[in-house]
Chains A and B, each alone.
Chain A
Amino acid sequence: MMKELAVKASKLKKEYSSISQRVVALKEIDIEIKKGEFVAIMGPSGAGKTTFLNLIGCLDRPTSGKLDILGCDPAKSNEEKLCRIRIEKIGFVFEDFFLISFLNVLENVQLPLIFAKKFKNNINPETLLKRVGLDHRLTHFPNELSGGELQRVAVARALANDPEVLLADEPTGNLDSRNAQELFTLFRDLNREKGLTIVVATHNIRLGYSADRVIHLNDGKIEKDERLVRENGR
């Protein structure tokens, strides 16, 4: 079955330069990610995982190479366009949760909808929070929640704009192993239920291998690209 591509990168290069040094974070990599895939990006620190996620998350522009995200080219888009892509097609989950501290759980999840302006009828923040098992915490503030709960709120927020791609950068970095496992189970289920394309950068080998495909990055290059065949889920 031929699936449409969600991400297509060819000779993708990203360079960071400061006065003192120049760091090439991604060295002309080629990647294709199909819609509906659950991909784990693995590799040591500094391998370029975050850079890769930022590029496909339209938070940054590549230095050179071609990138196509759901039919858009970040290199050719201005900031407003990038922002439209982010709000319409991409959901982000971060290692540090990045919830807004003065908004309660429900308001945090509603936030993308404010920026999206066009309301997507089928999205109800409360339903999303119920889906991640936090419907009893709607009016709680971030500082009243545990790490696992915070990350689930962040996932609900990432889903609020009904994205086509969910990007997660070290989402389990601040979680204990039980919560980390639960989060990956949630990703797995979301991927199955909605056919959501998920790209997760992680250190955690065990969790990484619960994805459909594991891309190993090292020193800005793809070391290995494994497609895992499994019969029935985890």
Chain B
Amino acid sequence: MKFFVLAYKNLKRRKSRSFLTIGGVAVAVAVLVCLLGFNAGYQEALTSDIDKMGYQVVVTAKGCPYEAATMILNGEAGLKFIDEDIYKQITSDPDIDKITPLLAQLAYDPEKMEGKGGFTNYLGIEESYMPLKPNVEIIKGEWFSGNDVNEAILGYDAAESEQKSVGDKISIPGKDITFTIVGIFNRTGSQEDGTVFLPLKTTQRVFDIQGKLTGIGIKLKQIEKISEFEDRLYPIASIQVISMSQVKGTILNLVNSAKILIMSVAFIAIFVAIIGVINTILMSVFERTQEIGIMKAIGASRLDIFQLIWMETLIVCTLGGIFGSMIAFFGGNMVELLVRNVMPYAPGGKLLLITPELLLFSFLGVIIVGIISGLYPAFKAASMRPIEVIRSGE
């Protein structure tokens, strides 16, 4: 029998109390792991989303840049309109490598999500869309047969959720037109997987918005020339130029400020957990005054008692760390779901990146916290004098 067994047996004696304390530590660790994992994951997911988008610059109607940024990332490309003429006007700009017009529309579909209802994204595109999207390809069927035909290409998820394939018909709710599905895109992991793509002209006709666009996607020959490019577009009053790196920065800024808030909550959680641990161990030290006295009377040294109590704290924190990591690892998906609903923009892919290094880091962190929080109770216990116990037992 060793100190470890002794400490463990004592913790086992007060199961519910030990369990609650361990639970407190576990929650704190889980929160920490999720937060740190979220931070890393979100940044990575956002970067990959923006890279996948293919555009470096998007031209939209003037408005709130934050709103525009999130809309673009959601595959909506802004819902305010710009004139198609502007597209023609800037196409000839010398710095432009690739350019494509975009017309995004939303339609409410009461049948969607098994009758709960939801919005479907429609995106009007031209053939110039494809060169801007190197990771997008038609995996089934082919491109539209003309510029203004009642045909649709579905994003991978849209096809899957509607259970449609090439040759099937779809209709836009509220519009008396049916579309033949001619193609299906591969899965890209971005928001556009859920989009229904239509020819640009068709979109203008169906939604009755002739000569309008919601955005223009652009890839520059050299991204360094972006400010000069922006300057040239500046005279056009009704538009704004948004660079995707700007969008990324903007969103990360938003996320960062939220992160600081959540971080402080996490630190409070950890602090409370530490207090909980100290309290539990200290309580059990005081309750065991007699026992500790007996141990000292039969020869336990100060160091022995110190080690014993310290060991208890360490066991609590270690178990808390293990459970917390497990909660974070397995419950992370739930947190992800929760976070997705409150974030201004949630990129595709995994938001929570829980790496072994992160788990190890948090685990070591909680052990260090355990070592520190065990000091006081252990010291307190070690300082007890056996004689007082013997006398009180007289």
The answer to whether A binds B is: yes
- Indicate if B2 sits at the interface (CB-CB under 8 A): yes
Q: Which of B2, B295, B297 contacts A59 (CB 8 A)?
A: B297
B301 touches A115 (CB 8 A): yes
**For chain B, what secondary structure do more than half of its interface residues adopt (helix, strand, loop), or is it mixed?**
helix
CA distance A161 to B296 in the complex (A): 14
For A169, the closest partner residue in chain B by CB is B390
Q: A115 contacts B304, CB within 8 Å?
A: yes
Decide if A157 touches B298 in the complex (CB within 8 Å).
Answer: yes
CB atoms of B290 and A102 under 8 A apart: no
7 tightest A-B contacts by CB?
A87-B299, A98-B294, A115-B300, A83-B301, A102-B13, A86-B299, A60-B387
Cα A79 to Cα B299 in complex, Å, equals 11
Tell me whether A98 and B3 are in contact (CB under 8 A). Answer: no
- Hey, what's the 0/1 contact readout for A111-133 against B, CB within 8 Å counting as 1? 11011100000000000000000
Q: Other than the known A94-B294, A115-B304, what 17 A-B pairs have Cβ atoms closer than 8 Å?
A: A80-B301, A80-B302, A83-B302, A87-B300, A98-B393, A102-B10, A111-B6, A112-B298, A114-B1, A114-B2, A115-B295, A115-B298, A115-B300, A116-B299, A157-B298, A161-B299, A169-B390
User: Would A114 and B393 count as touching, CB distance under 8 A?
Assistant: no
Given A83-B299, A87-B299, A115-B300, verify A98-B290 contact (CB < 8 Å).
Answer: yes
Least Cβ–Cβ distance between A120 and chain B, in angstroms? 12
- Quick one: given A92-B298, A115-B295, A115-B304, are A103 and B387 in contact (CB under 8 Å)? no
Query: Which chain A residues border B302 with CB–CB below 8 Å?
Result: 79-80, 83
Counting CB contacts under 8 A, is A107 at the interface? Answer: yes
Instruction: Give a binary string over B325-354; 1 marks a CB under 8 Å from any A CB, 0 the rest.
Output: 000000000000000000000000000000
B140 CB–A CB distance under 8 Å: no
Given contacts A59-B387, A102-B9, contact A83 B294 (CB under 8 A): no
A202 interfacial contact with B, CB 8 Å: no
- Residues from chain A with Cβ under 8 Å of B6 in the complex: 103, 111, 114
A88 to B301, CA, bound (A): 12
CB of A24, distance to nearest CB on chain B (Å): 16
Chain A contributes a number of interface residues (CB within 8 A of B) equal to: 34
Chain A 67-112 residues near chain B, CB threshold 8 A? 79-80, 83-84, 86-88, 90-92, 94-96, 98, 100-103, 107, 110-112
Q: Check A33 for interface membership: any CB of B closer than 8 A.
A: no
Q: Name the A residues within 8 Å of B387 (CB-CB).
A: 54, 59-60
Q: Does A47 contact B (CB under 8 A)?
A: no
Nearest-Cβ distance from residue A14 to partner chain B, whole angstroms: 11
Q: How far is B9's CA from A112's CA once the two chains are assembled, in angstroms?
A: 16
1/0 per position for B358-394, CB-CB distance to A under 8 A? 0000000000000000000000000000110011011
Please give the distance in Å from A166's CB to the nearest CB on chain B: 12
Interface residue B291 (Cβ < 8 Å from any Cβ of A): yes
A50 at interface by CB-CB < 8 Å: yes
In Å, the complex CA distance between A32 and B141 comes to 108
Which of these, B1, B13, B390, contacts A110 with CB under 8 Å? B1
CB distance from A103 to the nearest CB of B (A): 7
Return B157 CB to nearest CB of chain A, in Å: 58
Chain A residues, CB < 8 A from B290: 98
User: Complex: how many Å from CA A59 to CA B387?
Assistant: 6
* A93 to B32 Cα, complex, angstroms: 50
From residue B97, how far is it (CB to closest CB) to chain A in Å?
75
B2-17 Cβ-contact flags toward A at 8 Å (1 or 0) = 1100100110110000
Bound together, the chains give a CA A92 to CA B295 distance in angstroms of 11
Task: Name the A residues within 8 Å of B301 (CB-CB).
Answer: 80, 83-84, 87, 115
Bound form: Cα–Cα A199–B294 in Å: 19
